[in-house]
Amino acid sequence: MRLLNPGEYFYEDIEVGDFFETGGITVTETHVVSFAGLAGDLFDVHMDEAFARSQGFEGRIAHGLLVLALIDGLKTRCTTRLMAIAALNWNWSFRAPILIGDRIRARFEVRDKRLTRSKDRGILALAVSAFNQHGTAVQDGEHVLMVRCRKSGDAAAA
């Protein structure tokens, strides 16, 4: 396992076991309300404090998909940058509620890699874990990402 330092990483620069951690972001009231309006998900557990508490939560909780979107945003603005072309898949689990005011961060680890048929780009399978400010795992899963090769001729040897 190798911690990736800040910088840009092409397919050939990556090894299985490499990992990096993002900075954090605090989930705000504005995030939750804006996402609810955008997605049309006005479910009471996100919008009504009394209802959320009546369901056993400490307060209103953030949408799981909102938090996944924030995690993807943390990845794309991280100082450790994979030279991505496109996200291909997310296989995701919601482990614990995220409250307004929680601060989340994520850890990405390369679990597998392969070249595409065209050999000018590769596919990385990333294990992802998201944590709140207490170190509790709140979401996790796998993210499949297409990344650029530095040089198509060098990628075949990687």
3-class secondary structure per residue, the chain: CEECCCEEECHHHCCCCEEEECCCEECCHHHHHHHHHHHCCCCHHHHCHHHHHHCCCCCCECCHHHHHHHHHHHHHCCCEEECEEEEEEEEEEECCCCECCCEEEEEEEEEEEEECCCCCEEEEEEEEEEECCCCCEEEEEEEEEEEECCCHHHHCCC
Residue 134 has pLDDT above 90, yes or no: yes
Which residue range forms the structural domain that includes residue 137? Answer: 2-155
Residue 153 has pLDDT above 80, yes or no: no
- Tell me which residue of 5, 34, 37 sits closest to 20, measured CA to CA: 5
The CATH number of residue 140's host domain is: 3.10.129.10
Residue 152 has pLDDT above 80, yes or no: no
Check: pTM over 0.75? Answer yes or no. yes
Helix axes 29-39, 64-76, angle to 10 degrees: 110
Query: How many domains in the chain?
Result: 1
Tens of pLDDT along 90-116?
Answer: 999 999 999 999 999 999 999 999 999
Residue 156 has pLDDT above 60, yes or no: no
Tens of pLDDT along 48-76?
Answer: 999 999 999 999 999 999 999 999 999 99
